[in-house]
Chain A
Amino acid sequence: MKGPLDRTKVVLRHLPPSITRETLLDQIDTVFRGRYNWVAFRPGKTSQKHQIHARAYINFNSPEDVIGFAEFFDGHIFVNEKGAQYKINVEYAPSQQVPKQWSKKDGR
């Protein structure tokens, strides 16, 4: 089990519903390129009734990178193409599981 001080997986919540994986990663890579080893992006949904924020899970190489990242991105404001502002938050992911890198090819 990972203790509180060696957690490396974070979740970015309240991302703009329309943001794409590429746009997000471009932003992150300006400062944090090479300091993470896994990203899972969950697109949001833009609709009148039910807006769903996009989310992303990122696993950093070290717990220190997480601190640096949170200082940079927690509370960071993203503006979408219509000018709406989204204040995102960065938290430790409640589950610290990350897929094994060697995931077996299914012979089925």
Chain B
Amino acid sequence: PERSARVTKVRPPLYQYIRKLLFSDLDKSSIEHVLRQLRKLPWNECEAYLLKCFMKVHKGKYGQIHLIASLTAGLSRYHDEFSVAVVDEVLEEIRLGLEMNDYGMQQRRVAHMRFLGELYNYKHVDSSVIFDTLYLILVFGHDISEQDALDPPEDCFRIRMVITLLQTCGHYFDRGSSKRKLNRFLIHFQRYILSKGALPLDIEFDLQDLFAELRPNMARYSSIEEANAALTELEEHEHTASFEKANSASHLDAEKRPSKQADSNASLTAN
């Protein structure tokens, strides 16, 4: 039978060039070059397209997502509007993913979690955004009638999302207020995990690795009641701690920020 030839999408040369830069040229050694080329683009014409391409992190190599995050941070000096937009877009993608819970989108949803974590590593979002996202993942859509579609009881994908984000940037939450925030979150996370019952082995092993890396001494609770008790205890403890803190006014609470940026990004923005 007659079949019409497949129509290939023809993109304007400018778009083709952007795609070449981001999807084939970009690697560790070429990133400075790519950043310089991006800065030379006619921004009025292509800012929206560039934003679209930055959201396609799932199309590239998983191990290269940090390069896109680095570019975002590198561009913020001259195109702050753009790098603010990147953060807004990633967070919207994550939210949309939770709203649709479409199986076919899982790969890109994992890539977006990784991207968000890398944006934190390049100091482009602060820890409150990370923790808000983590809690959103645990609670989104619960206590409404669509819960079974949004987070089916046997579906462990949200655990996968949390693991991805914490694997990417969790090791920076090791002191000060962000350390306490992670401790608290991990208990909530455990409670969520327990609500899922028996886990697939791949998830269970990744969880073991995650806890071993971030909090090797933290107890893994075996029932929701135990996790609840731990949360109550933590709240009482923090209540007395904040009381003591108020009495000693000279409490400095430095939050360790990633240092990754110092070596790679400083050289980028200096050009």
Contact = CB atoms under 8 A, between A and B. Distances in A.
Contact of B84 (A97, A104, A105, A106): A97
A93 B88 contact: yes
A98 B91 contact: no
Contacts of A11: 88, 92
B40 to A, nearest CB: 5
Nearest to A106: B78
Interface in B148-188: none
B80 interface: yes
Contacts of B79: 103, 106
Interface string A77-108: 00000000000000001110111100111101
Contacts of A100: 80
Given A94-B91, A106-B39, A1 B80 contact: no
B78 A104 contact: yes
Taking residues whose C-beta sits less than 8 angstroms from the other chain, chain A's interface range is 10 to 19
Contacts of B40: 108
Contact of B87 (A55, A95, A104, A106): A95
B132 interface: yes
Interface stretch (B121-129, B197-205, B226-234, B259-267): B121-129
Taking residues whose C-beta sits less than 8 angstroms from the other chain, chain B's interface range is 20 to 34
A98 B39 contact: no
Interface in B48-84: 77-81, 84
A104 B77 contact: yes
A95 B129 contact: yes
Given A100-B80, A104-B77, A104-B78, A95 B91 contact: yes
A60 interface: no
A97 to B, nearest CB: 5
B85 interface: yes
The B interface is mostly helix, strand or loop, or mixed, namely helix
Interface in A1-45: 1, 11, 40, 42
B80 A103 contact: yes
B85 A40 contact: yes
B87 A97 contact: yes
A42 B132 CA distance: 23
A98 B83 CA distance: 10
B95 interface: yes
A94 B132 contact: yes
Contacts of B85: 40
Given A1-B126, A106-B39, A99 B92 contact: no
Given A55-B92, A94-B91, A94-B133, A1 B128 contact: yes
B126 A99 contact: no
A80 B80 CA distance: 33
A99 B91 contact: no
A100 B85 CA distance: 13
Contact of B95 (A94, A97, A98): A94
A11 to B, nearest CB: 7
Given A94-B136, A95-B87, A106-B78, 9 more contacts: A11-B88, A40-B88, A93-B88, A94-B91, A99-B80, A99-B84, A104-B77, A104-B78, A105-B78
9 contacts: A1-B128, A40-B84, A42-B89, A95-B87, A95-B88, A97-B125, A99-B80, A103-B78, A103-B80
Closest 6 CB pairs of A and B: A106-B78, A99-B80, A99-B81, A94-B91, A95-B87, A103-B80
